[in-house]
Amino acid sequence: MSESPPTTPVCYRHPGRETYVRCTRCDRPICPDCMREASVGHQCPECVNEGRRSVRPARTAFGGGTAGRHGYVTKGIIALNVLLMVLSIASDRGGDAAVGGSGFGGLMGGSTPLTNWGSVLGLAVFPDGTLGGIADGEWYRLVTAMFLHYGVIHLLLNMWALWVLGRSLEANLGPLRFGALYLIAGLGGNVAAYLFSAQNSATAGASTAVFGLFAALIIIGRKMGRDVSQVLPILVINLVFTLTVPGISIPGHLGGLAFGALMALVLAYAPRGRRTLVQVAGGAIILVVLLALVLFRTAQLLS
């Protein structure tokens, strides 16, 4: 009885193609069109895809994605602030929104219909006789105020600080965690302004969030063992300006500083084993505290 001659292996994905090359993972024969270069030999498409699924994506020291090194969130926030400044000037129809107004060097430039609509305002009667403000249900002001500015100089100072601080923090925290830090710091500053400012006093600006970023840079830097001594004098100078220059919201800046620091502590010191859970829970608790403060102030103004 004669033996059958050995058959030439064929590609498992293309049965009509003969090949002597095999996948180094599953040992199936693969043709040149199916070969994917590996560290050793070649792999088939299915094994390559399986390997990609099994490889954990790179993370920062605080659990964030490495896409933060591109600074997309920082750039997006700056773009949004600039866009709203353009819209604010356009809404003013020839007023003093760009460089006019009171304050140090035009820092607190003139208000516009857009800033009137979106600034932090407790409760006030508008010129047309209507009542408005956060206590009247306009809670959106607590968010919109951190993206609006009184004048171009005000905008430029805040955007320069955001550009310097934001890129470093976003690279270390990742886009999502940095975005949460920015929003909570800004919201915390606006809630503080709502709590401690006169009910008919309007405030706006990204400086609430920026002060939170100052605190976060110090906390994150210390956690990573970096020298933060150069940041402290800049923060002190900004605090001196806050306390001495007329027209600046002291509660807003200090509130942003405090709540930015709280969120940074949560992000930096969450235990590694349950890092994401603790970070999300910590952020949620801060938001609940802010909500309670808003409800308290609202009840106080309406009583």
Catalytic residues, by residue number, are 207, 253
* Helix 207-223 and helix 152-173, axial crossing angle in degrees, nearest 10: 30
CA 161 to chain centre: 14
Instruction: Write b or e for each residue in 217-238: b if 16 or more Cβ atoms lie within 10 A of its Cβ, otherwise e.
Output: bbbbbebeeeeeeebeeebeeb
The C-alpha atoms of residue 5 and residue 141 are separated, in whole angstroms, by 82
The C-alpha atoms of residue 34 and residue 243 are separated, in whole angstroms, by 68
Please tell me whether residue 10 adopts helix, strand or coil conformation: strand
Nearest to 251 by CA among 192, 300, 296: 192
The C-alpha atoms of residue 12 and residue 17 are separated, in whole angstroms, by 9
Provide the token pair at 203. 């405030």
Question: Quick one: CA dihedral 148, 154, 156, 162, positive or negative?
Answer: negative
What DSSP string describes 105-170? GGSB----HHHHHHSB--SEE-TTS-EESGGGT-TTHHHHGGG--SSHHHHHHHHHHHHHHHHHHH
Contact of 228 with 221, CB cutoff 8 Å: yes
Provide the token pair at 181. 């830090």
Q: Which element (helix H / strand E) includes 101?
A: none
3-state helix, strand, coil in the chain (%, to 5): 60, 5, 35
